[in-house]
A and B are shown apart, each in its own frame.
Chain A
């Protein structure tokens, strides 16, 4: 008699033909969502939270977008160069860019996230010190660039040299972790749409980052959210900019392909 797969959250249901049927059903529910089933976290938020996101004049994320817009034209570093000096007007040149991140960086040999790319430009092309992780400035620039992809479908590529990172990210997503011994897939593939305490479990799609989260009372990156999830299952979170995070973000990005970018999103 086959045992239930390791990802089954009900380990006591083992043995007997009924368990095989159950295993089969669970296999169906724990599969990654197909294109038609992909749900943005927006759809699981309350109407009030949706309204906050829908109105640019009421969306607190735009405070960061405004800061990013200002920073875009600011000359910094040894090169005394602004983003605009190389990239011109962001609405034109950054259109569609965020929708393709994370992307594989051939020189680094691994995926790079959008905040990491911005930092790379700062250090290598502007000759400036990197911005502090989760700083308003970095969130602002990321949100400003992200805004230029708003409404466009996510298009994260996982072919060629990105494949090993993609597989590593997928493995992370489906591996049980932490004291609670839960994998991301168990909740966000298997139980999405159901409730944990008073909250609806979303699919965990990254199409709105950086986003304004009511729980944070501020803006934050996908990396911050993943860190929270890891703490949530009582696992040791990865260090900032750890390669595992980029692998996981690459997998999450691919998983969201087709969903429209909503940056700056508002979420509970």
Chain B
């Protein structure tokens, strides 16, 4: 089996937009002017900004060429850990583009947007049933904004009880967004070290939890791909001191239909619809980060909320304890349509099977890789597995070299150097939508790279060689930042 998936074909150099443009061209068919010109108010008009001028042909060729410089889920396996780069179904794009959804104004009278309100209400119910929690807001625009909503709910809850708190426990395996979100509420993040098995140990939580601590943020399964087995006991410890438990649902894809988040003591949980529920990642968004809560925290959810009045749906602001608004309107509705479409296509049985196969795929890679690479924790994993460069470092080869060499074989690299607790981490999440033959090719590529590290390490250090560009100078980019390509008009 030849594990090299990459072929070098003809791709094109492409200049910047303004290098391609010529003054006097246009790519726009201006709607007909059927009203007369009116004089402009004095002293307020200004010259328009210097924008490049391109024909429609220039424009299309420019962006099609740029698109060909990307590797994406639709072109290759993209096992970026904790990002759940699963296949994005095409029918979801069609649904989101329906005129009733795409061309709907957010301030339509309720009588003119019943279908959109019904979709929001229905998706809230589906996510409540999937997580085991009681109430849902769909307003947060991404996972990090969901975390902020969660921390604001913690803050409002403790203030309501008359005892604001100042600290929050955050495990050392957490995403960086966790402490950054908590800091926005004025909470000081107190790190909790994970134990020798890569998971949190109740005694270390008990030692830090006090009545100045608002609660704990737990990603489960965690970023090592391990299930936090003591989560229920940790929740009891936190609850006993009056704290709350935040669940970061970034890795929910492992446990659909299997874990009852309410039962394990999670009070607030965010989901990433662009991970578990297959909405596309868009080169860095837009996503959506719904937040699910247990019943007694429902009054704190963002407003407005969709309520049912008889056979009609309506907006309601009547939640005086609400944390307020996170976005001007109701959240990333276009993303919600896609996630709803996915859940209705899958049903319970296929969602459960998706989790089974995601975990099977990750374990298949884990078993296949440990001959060549050092596992961070050599035991069964959930949706992702973490290895390191511990065996390659003595050869003068690092995780970065391995990642770059994978490109030459035609795979997007895994997440690297995260979680921080594993030096030189390679965090690999295949997702359920990769087939066995693709995983076998990935394993063969990784085995070949391990051999190369021993026999021809310079191949790794020089990689990638098959991409449009060789390694890029990131240090130089940060030292002398060039962030725009034209002098600004300022």
| A and B: interacting chains | no
Which residues from chain A sit less than 8 Å from chain B, CB to CB? none
Binding site for A on B (CB under 8 A): none
